[in-house]
A = this chain, B = another copy of it.
Amino acid sequence: MSVTTMNAKDILMRAVQCDQVGRILEAQNLYQDGIQILMDLVADEKDVGKKKVYYERIKEYIDRAEQIKERVQKHVIRGELVTNIPIEDNSTGNSYQALFGDYLNADVKEVLLEEPYLQEKYHFQNLVTFLELLVKNCRHIKYVRLVTKTDPKAPENQRNVLEQIKSDMARRNVTLSVKFEDTLHDRKIVLSNGYIIKIGRGLHFFKATNPLYSLGLCDYDFRKCLQTDVDIWRTKNFIA
């Protein structure tokens, strides 16, 4: 058995394990990785019988990955509005903790974060601030899927910074998986405990401190904000 086959087997076993304990975003990711490796193997395989076995397994995993995709989509579509928080221009007291910290609790195992813009320094700083809160509040967090757009000006720098953040999260036993989708527009944060946070401006609604050394440099509750809306939705959780 080749190294690649071993890898595919390991990956798909981990996928099934994640699936069973309800870590479905991570499972979906692993299914997709496993499927990709099996597809490469089947192309190289001469034996028709073995080819058939591969195809059956590929189909099985594709079906499962599709089911998860649908379940997540349904989860996002259905649901009821829990609260709407309008943020006024120049208002303060709107840190991530103040706005939605209570929904980030011990029940959250996985998070899907769709944030189109991760290109400027302050974008990355906002991402780190969000992840700090996530790691602090959600003690069972295992997996974060981040979907964003490629930075057309400095794609290399963007990849490097996201790689660094990924390594840092890995040291804390959280898998951060980054996907690039250049047609992405909407912003949302989907929590595996059933809450969905939609912010018109995504993570980026804080104004810079001016002058630099003012209250708000570290504690975002003191930062003035741009006008935006925060909608918090509740659906049945992923596992239901």
Contact = CB atoms under 8 A, between A and B. Distances in A.
Interface of A: 124-125, 127-129, 131-133, 135-136, 161, 164-165, 168-169, 172, 211-222
A223 to B, nearest CB: 11
A215 B132 contact: yes
A131 B209 CA distance: 15
A168 B135 contact: no
Contact of A211 (B135, B164, B172): B164
A127 B219 CA distance: 12
Contacts of A216: 132
9 tightest Cβ-Cβ pairs between the two chains A and B: A132-B219, A168-B214, A164-B211, A128-B217, A129-B218, A124-B213, A132-B215, A161-B213, A165-B213
Nearest to A168: B214
Which DSSP category, helix, strand, loop or mixed, fits chain A's interface? helix
27 contacts: A124-B213, A125-B213, A125-B217, A125-B218, A127-B213, A128-B214, A128-B215, A128-B217, A132-B215, A132-B216, A132-B217, A132-B219, A132-B222, A133-B219, A135-B215, A136-B219, A161-B213, A164-B211, A164-B212, A165-B213, A165-B214, A168-B211, A168-B214, A168-B215, A169-B215, A218-B218, A218-B220
